[in-house]
């Protein structure tokens, strides 16, 4: 006859084995859990993003975010400037955009279609000319701009036909093309963001050192986080993560690499009580 002690020991062994299998399966499932893929729409807007640059602000920021946490994995998706709003529509390809001013079309008839998050940087679009831009703009001039951009000069209109016909704007794909055309006097004035000038002074001063130019302000702006309508939790999480980076000194160091330390405007103290899950403490 089998003793009760033996039976009890047998069942205990079986029970412990089942618990061990369940625990191992749980740990394995946790280890196999993949971070959620997040897609950030971006277009040619150096030094924040440019497919022609080896290094840009958004690329450096995405790399830092991916290295410091496992909840999300961020990927940059390049879009045309005019397609940025479609990218963040309910059936669009992306979840976020960074370094956008809401007046660049994000409030036009949106009725809450987009989440406008924290401010990131302050900047300006500048007129560049070989003489005083204020005087040059008084005459019959050809002005160079970038396709899909919003300029105060044109009332933030971005329709190519209107810009070319009513405002005599020549529209290029990138700022360097405009700069070369100004240097060769094929354009009278070009519009370029101040951050791009600071970046060139830091990384490749020769692009500006071989000719004299003068500047005047077209518009000042503050870029912000823009989120898809259903991504409020993600925007909150990103704001908290940026606040952590700021308190660690890593956010300022990142922007300094691109000559933009004086343009960073993110207010980390506003998110000091936030945690990475988007809750406030």
Over residues 65-85, the mean pLDDT reads 96
169-172 and 143-146 strand pairing:
parallel
186, 202, 220 — which closes off a domain?
A: 220
Same domain (yes/no): 152, 171:
yes
89 part of a folded domain: yes
Per-residue pLDDT band at 199 (split at 50, 70, 90): very high
Same domain (yes/no): 255, 243:
yes
pLDDT for the residue numbered 112: 61
8 A C-beta contact, residue 207 and residue 181: no
Same domain (yes/no): 67, 187:
no
pLDDT for the residue numbered 109: 52
Same domain (yes/no): 110, 192:
no
Of the chain, the percentage scoring pLDDT greater than 90 comes to 65
Q: Enter the tokens of residue 190.
A: 């070009």
Same domain (yes/no): 92, 205:
no
Place of tokens 């000091």: 272
Same domain (yes/no): 148, 210:
yes
Neighbours of 189 (CB within 10 A): 23
Tens of pLDDT, residue by residue over 144-196, are 999 889 898 888 877 777 887 888 889 999 999 999 999 999 999 999 999 99
CA–CA separation, 248 vs 251, rounded Å? 8
Give which of 224, 211, 177, 170 is closest to 196, Cα–Cα.
Answer: 177
pLDDT exceeds cutoff 80 at 20: no
Q: End-to-end alpha-carbon separation of the chain, Å?
A: 63
115 part of a folded domain: yes
pLDDT exceeds cutoff 70 at 66: yes
Lowest mean pLDDT of 5-19, 73-87, 168-182, name the range.
Answer: 5-19
The CATH number of the domain holding residue 196 is 3.40.190.10
Same domain (yes/no): 213, 230:
no
pLDDT for the residue numbered 7: 42
Cα dihedral across residues 243, 244, 245, 246: positive or negative: positive
8 A C-beta contact, residue 189 and residue 137: yes
Enclosing domain of residue 168:
125-220
8 A C-beta contact, residue 250 and residue 121: no
99 part of a folded domain: yes
Same domain (yes/no): 131, 215:
yes
């Amino acid at each position: 006859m089998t003793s009760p002690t033996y039976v009890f020991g047998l069942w205990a062994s079986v029970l412990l084995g089942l618990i061990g299998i369940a625990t191992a399966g749980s740990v394995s499932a946790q280890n196999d859990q993949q971070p959620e893929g997040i897609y950030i729409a971006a277009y040619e807007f150096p030094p924040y993003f440019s497919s022609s640059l080896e290094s840009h602000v958004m690329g450096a920021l995405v790399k830092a975010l991916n290295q410091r946490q496992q909840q999300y994995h961020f990927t940059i998706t390049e879009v045309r400037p005019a397609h940025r709003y479609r990218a963040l529509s309910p059936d669009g390809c992306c979840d976020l955009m960074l370094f956008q001013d809401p007046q660049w079309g994000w409030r036009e008839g949106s009725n809450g279609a987009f989440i406008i998050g924290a401010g990131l940087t302050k900047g300006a679009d500048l007129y560049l000319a070989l003489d005083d831009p204020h005087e040059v703009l008084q005459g019959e001039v050809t002005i160079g701009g970038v396709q899909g951009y919003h300029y105060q000069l044109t009332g933030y209109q971005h329709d190519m036909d209107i810009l070319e016909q009513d405002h005599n704007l020549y529209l290029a794909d990138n700022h360097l093309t405009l700069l070369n055309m100004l240097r060769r006097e094929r354009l009278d004035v070009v519009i370029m963001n101040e951050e791009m000038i600071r970046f060139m002074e830091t990384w490749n001063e020769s692009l500006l050192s071989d000719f004299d130019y003068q500047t005047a302000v077209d518009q000042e702006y503050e870029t912000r986080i823009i989120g898809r309508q259903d991504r409020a939790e993600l925007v909150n999480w990103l704001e908290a993560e940026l606040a952590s980076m700021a308190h660690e000194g890593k956010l300022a160091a990142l922007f300094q690499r691109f000559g933009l330390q004086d343009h960073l405007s993110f207010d980390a103290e506003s998110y000091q009580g936030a945690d990475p899950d988007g809750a406030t403490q």
